[in-house]
Structure 1
Amino acid sequence: MKAGLLLLMCILLAALLAFSDRFKQDAADKAFVYSAADGGMLEVKLGELAQKRATMPKCKDFAETMISDHGKINDELKALARKKQISVPTRLSTAKQQIYDSLAAESGEKFDMLYMNIMIASHEETIGLFQSESNKGQDPDLKKWADSKISALKHHLEMAKALFDAAPQPGKN
């Protein structure tokens, strides 16, 4: 009787530990989905703001690309998350909202330069996030999806850097 009870307790403990590991793995994939959605929303919202406020036509063109490309990526992520029963944020996180607000407070050439700086930093962060999921994620569908987006994100980064380098620096002639 004691041996049976001990065996049952060992089985329950093993099941609990296995569930705990799976929960941690699921949590990492869910954190990726949340972060990717948050960053994607920011890209679109900043693009919409830049469409209205940017002074350089090439900056507005870049913003249009961000709205289109990240809008599609966001829709794909929402659909994949829905299949995985993972919720995505519907509003920007506090940190991303602060980035938006800081850009919204600017105007003129300073707006353009800050927008491009944010795009460079944001894409560097996003590429790292997607590479991490691609390499270390537990869900095969999320890993594959993240991996499939890395080259486009790198292209966006190169576009942002080239535009930043070509832009006139505020306050300099």
Structure 2
Amino acid sequence: MNKARMWKSYLGVPVLAAMLSMGSAYAQSLASGDQKALKDMAMANMAEVETGKLALQKSQNAEVKAFAQQMVDDHSKGLEEVKKVASAKNVTLPTELDAKHKAMSKKLEGLSGDKFDREYMELAGVKSHKEAKAIVSKAQTGAKDADVKGVAAKLQPTIEQHMGHVQQLNASLKSGTSMGASGSAGSSGSGQPAKDMKRGDTTAAPGASDASGTSAAGTTGSTVRDGSKPPAPKDSGNTDSPNHPSNPANKVTK
């Protein structure tokens, strides 16, 4: 029994070595540029997932958080697609962020509030998606392996959709019109919407009057506070009494 086990162990070593060499040879058969494309696509997806999770923790902006959740969901799926191809090609993918993306995450971790939102959208949103689009575009035109080209083409529509979304959201953040934590539009800081502050709305309530007695409609009040009719001016030819002989209405027309 011991001899049998010994022979099996001897035979197992070369068989295992042969299998490993075959896998290595297959990976080497994949062009170095194609291997790099897979690794770059994996890194781009990993970075979006990690920064998206960070935004979900730190941001107080409803729209930014919704965007971050979409990044986590979509790029997690994208990463799985890349892993499938890499596994089939025996290409080892990175398991952690590279130095550049670690530095980006560290920078974002040190920010908060509006500063975090703007920087997250600028770095992980605009900049990173431009880089990701360049990676998949290059893979589709330059890769030699059909599967590498295929996964790049599969990722591109999602990246482009994200780019359109992030540009709109980034613009609204810069202009201060995005939805905040409460879900209300950005205000001027006084509780009144910014557009109302710019308009300078000074319209008084209906029926109100100012110190001069002018009503909100811009006409002079025709009654006094007790509700009675005010006396007519002396030079008007009228008096309070409708029966007064000086009242023009009582003059007999000849």
Same fold by TM (over 0.5)?
yes
Aligned length: 150
Pairing partner for 1:99 from 93, 100, 104: 104
* Equivalent position of 1:35 in the other structure: 40
Corresponding position of 2:151: 145
Deviation at 1:161, TM superposition (A): 0.7
1:24 shift after superposition: 9.3
1:66 aligns with 2:66: no
User: Alignment partner of 1:167: what SS?
Assistant: helix
Larger Rg over CA atoms: 2
Residues 83 and 93, structure 2, Cα contact 8 Å, conserved in 1? yes
Stretches of structure 1 that go unaligned for 5 or more consecutive residues are 1-22
CA RMSD of aligned residues (A): 1.8
Question: 1:116 Cα shift?
Answer: 0.3
- Which residue identity is paired with 1:123? H
2:116 to 111, 115, 130: 111
Alignment pair present for 1:164 and 2:170: yes
CA contact (8 A) 2:34 2:145 kept: yes
The TM-score, its normalising length taken from structure 2, stands at: 0.56
Instruction: Report the AA paired with residue 167 of structure 2.
Output: K
The offset of 1:147, in angstroms, is 1.1
Question: For residue 141 of structure 2, what is the aligned residue in structure 1?
Answer: 135
Distance 2:138 2:29 in 1: 16
Runs (4+) off by over 2 Å: none
Distance 1:24 1:159 in 2: 39
Once residues 73 and 41 of structure 2 are traced to their aligned partners in structure 1, the CA distance between those partners, rounded to angstroms, is 16
Q: Please give the secondary structure, in 2, of the residue aligned with 1:148.
A: helix
**2:30–2:89 Cα contact (<8 Å) kept:** no
Higher helix share: 1
What percent identity do the matched residue pairs reach? 26
Q: Distance in 2 between matches of 1:71 and 1:43?
A: 9
Larger RCO (CA under 8 A, 6+ residues apart): 1
1:24 to 1:76, Cα distance in 2 relative to 1, 3 A: closer
2:62 to 45, 57, 71: 57
Relative to 1, partners in 2 of residues 1:83 and 1:25: Cα closer, same or farther, differing over 3 Å?
closer
Asked if the contact 1:113/1:169 (under 8 Å) is kept, the reply is no
